């Protein structure tokens, strides 16, 4: 079969690899109809992890079951399924508590597994024609319709970015009436803002420095904040003061930030205060500690890794950053982090999509054949205008 393979720094290719096979009676094989490129794939593409050459990439698959193992009863050949990026057994201590992102049974090196990702177990990636899905009873979520229909783009986002945007809100404590600031207007940040609006947040700000992304932020209904125009914390506070002028009770002037902050950038954040826009992995968390009101919450779903060959200093290479913990503690802030337990949220988000109450697919900008993956990776990393979310469709062929 054809698959997208990491060859080296900023080099991927589409190659022939062996077809997957049933390896255990709990396995399923799916024919992949869509597989999205994730922002976290770009860290491996850019050489910012210790991912080995030869890794088949991709962890956001939607497809159709073509074969199941003898012990699989809840899905069958012909079923349309979305596959959460977490590989999980469903029955270990963490899975039984709802933390399928920290499954204890699928990775010999740590808690948690994923398809096609460094340090996340021996699982081949999903940017391919076929995918083996271990523990299919847990990891195949059935969805209605047929491949290529009007739900195709929305359902593939259930594998990662839509649940991750929702989880960011859970970590940040977003509810009806909340004030929310999202840093980062990539796909996860945009869907974090969109999820906050679905939760009836009162005000949602989203910070970025790319025109195309800021325009998309406005499209989803958030208030875009361009950090190129100055301190984004001060910009949001000024906007909050404008909106609340004459409406505050005594003492509430101390709460001109937001109650809920979402970090959706990760360790390759750039520093708005540096004229050269140099990288500063702690910048966003520091800004959120300044911005979030006393007793508020921060949810961090941007990717951080313990090994970064391209880190800006020896500490960054080990995933170590300075953090104003004293200020965080003084303000009584809560900080939640980690990968999303997709199984916990995907069924509910699927039903919102089917009911027509959620349309995350407005973010999908490109639907491309596998052969165009190398160009798509390069343009996505360069933030070329229009490259918001790229979905690879193995059944498509290069025209001409």
pLDDT in tens, 293-305: 999 999 999 999 9
| Tens-level pLDDT at each residue, the chain (400 residues) | 999 999 999 999 999 999 999 999 999 999 999 999 999 999 999 999 999 999 999 999 999 999 999 999 999 999 999 999 999 999 999 999 999 999 999 999 999 999 999 999 999 999 999 999 999 999 999 999 999 999 999 999 999 999 999 999 999 999 999 999 999 999 999 999 999 999 999 999 999 999 999 999 999 999 999 999 999 999 999 999 999 888 888 888 889 999 999 999 999 999 999 888 899 999 999 999 999 999 999 999 999 999 999 999 999 999 999 999 999 999 999 999 999 999 999 999 999 999 999 999 999 999 999 999 999 999 999 989 899 999 999 999 877 5
pLDDT for 252: 87
Spell out where the chain has E strands. 2-8, 11-16, 28-36, 61-68, 80-82, 86-87, 113-114, 130-133, 141-142, 179-183, 203-208, 223-226, 258-263, 292-300, 334-337, 366-368, 390-392
CATH number of 161-337: 3.40.50.720
Residue 97 to residue 153: CA distance in whole angstroms: 30
pTM: 0.96
What residues contact residue 206 under an 8 Å CB cut-off, 6+ apart? 181, 182, 183, 184, 185, 189, 190, 193, 214, 217, 222, 223, 224, 225
Question: Would you list the domain boundaries of the chain?
Answer: 2-160+341-392, 161-337
- Find tokens 């596959």 and name the residue: 83
**CATH superfamily membership of 2-160+341-392:** Medium-chain alcohol dehydrogenases, catalytic domain (3.90.180.10)
If you count them, how many residues does the chain have? 400
Tell me if 306 sits within 8 A of 43, measured CB to CB. no
Residue 322 to residue 291: CA distance in whole angstroms: 17
């Amino acid at each position: 079969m054809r698959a997208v393979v990491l060859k080296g720094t900023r080099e991927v290719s589409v190659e022939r690899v062996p077809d997957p096979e049933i390896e255990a009676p709990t396995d399923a094989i799916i024919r992949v109809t869509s597989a999205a490129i994730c922002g976290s794939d770009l860290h491996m593409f850019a050489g910012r992890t210790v991912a080995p050459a030869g890794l088949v990439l991709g962890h956001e698959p939607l497809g159709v079951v073509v074969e199941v193992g003898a012990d699989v009863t809840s899905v069958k050949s012909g079923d349309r399924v979305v596959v959460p990026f977490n590989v999980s057994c469903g029955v270990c201590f963490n899975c039984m508590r709802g933390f399928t992102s920290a499954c204890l049974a699928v990775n010999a090196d740590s808690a948690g597994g994923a398809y096609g990702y460094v340090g996340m177990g021996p699982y081949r990636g999903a940017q391919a024609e076929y995918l083996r899905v271990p523990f299919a009873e847990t990891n195949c979520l059935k969805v209605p319709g047929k491949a290529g229909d009007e739900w195709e783009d929305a359902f593939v986002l259930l594998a990662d970015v839509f649940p991750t945007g929702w989880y960011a809100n859970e970590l940040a404590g977003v509810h009806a009436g909340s004030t929310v600031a999202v840093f980062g207007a990539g796909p996860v940040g945009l869907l974090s803002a969109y999820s906050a609006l679905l939760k009836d947040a009162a005000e949602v700000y989203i910070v970025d420095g790319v025109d195309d992304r800021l325009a998309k932020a406005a499209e989803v209904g958030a208030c875009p904040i361009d950090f190129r125009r100055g301190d984004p914390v001060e910009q949001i506070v000024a906007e909050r003061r404008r909106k609340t002028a004459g409406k505050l009770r005594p003492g509430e002037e101390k709460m001109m930030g937001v109650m809920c902050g979402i970090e959706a950038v990760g360790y390759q954040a750039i520093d708005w205060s540096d004229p050269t826009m140099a990288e500063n992995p702690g910048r966003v968390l520091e800004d959120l500690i300044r911005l979030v009101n006393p007793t508020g919450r921060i949810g961090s779903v941007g990717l951080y890794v313990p090994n970064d060959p391209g880190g800006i200093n020896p500490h960054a290479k080990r995933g170590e950053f300075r953090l104003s913990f004293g200020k965080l503690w003084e303000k009584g802030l809560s900080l939640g982090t980690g990968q999303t337990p997709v199984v916990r949220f995907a069924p509910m988000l699927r039903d919102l999509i089917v009911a027509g109450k959620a349309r995350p697919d407005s973010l999908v900008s490109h639907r491309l054949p596998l052969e165009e993956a190398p160009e798509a990776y390069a343009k996505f990393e360069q933030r070329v205008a229009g490259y918001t979310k790229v979905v690879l469709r193995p059944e498509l062929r290069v025209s001409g």
